[in-house]
Amino acid sequence: MNVVPQALEKLIDDFKRLPGIGQKTATRLALHLLRCPAEEARTMGRDLAGLHEAIKLCSNCFAFSEHDPCDICGDNRRDPAMVCVVEESGDLMAIEKTGVFSGKYHILHGVLSPMDGIGPDELKIEALIKRVHRQQVTEILIATSSTVPGEATAAYLSNRLQGCSGLKVTRLACGIPIGMDIKYADELTLGRAIEARKKA
């Protein structure tokens, strides 16, 4: 006998499709929404249903935005000659939170991953090259993750951008995270931090 009402089962399945959410968490979340006042579930339902209508990709940097160009591309106070290349919109949000970067962005929407059939044509790389030429970009800061595919994508990009005259290509520094105890740092990170040591 199926003791889970169909409407609840469907919602559990919806939650299960989200990354990192299994059967137990999905059930817990769906039951929580059922116990909450109906308005809470309805609000979330409305927000979800309208999500894709409200948000598009900026045609310049490919960030998710309600306007085109997005707020950052349309902001004249930000330096258009400095472009930070990231994998995903979440990375852009993380960098914005630091308050340290005042240039513009370019979102690749993924990393190179030949095993999954993701080559350069599947990412927004051609658009980046065109942008470098068209918008007189002077520095590209490659801020892909320091994972194997992130590093491979960075290496590929750096190679492709070599041909652009007068362009400086930089990469985020690697080292010990702030607040980390040295003895718990992994050996690769610690090795890089030693190589990249700076004058105190």
Q: Which amino acid is at 31?
A: L
- DSSP state, 60? T
Give the residues across from 141 on adjacent strands: 84, 170
The separation between CA 147 and the C-alpha centre of its own chain, rounded to angstroms, equals: 13
Residues 12-41 that bind a second copy (CB under 8 A): 14, 17-21, 25, 27-29, 31-35, 38, 40-41
Complex with a second copy: residue 54 or 196, whichever CB lies closer: 54
- E strands of 60-191, at which residues? 64-65, 79-86, 103-107, 139-142, 168-171
Inter-CA distances, 104 with 108, 135, 196, Å: 13, 11, 27
Question: Does 196 engage in binding with a second copy (CB under 8 A)?
Answer: no
The token pair at 53 is: 């209508």
From 53-61, 124-132, 156-164, 169-177, give the range in contact with a second copy by CB under 8 A: 53-61
Q: Interface with a second copy includes 92 (CB under 8 A)?
A: yes
Minimum separation from the CB atom of position 142 to a second copy (A) = 19
Nearest Cα neighbor of 85 from 166, 1, 170, 16 is: 170
Decide: is 47 part of the binding site for a second copy (CB under 8 A).
yes
Q: Which two tokens stand for residue 148?
A: 């194997």
To a second copy, the closest distance from the beta carbon of 77 in angstroms equals 9
Q: Does 81 participate in binding a second copy (rule CB under 8 A)? A: no
Site for a second copy, rule CB under 8 A: 1-8, 10-11, 14, 17-21, 25, 27-29, 31-35, 38, 40-55, 63-66, 71-72, 75, 88-90, 92-93, 96, 109
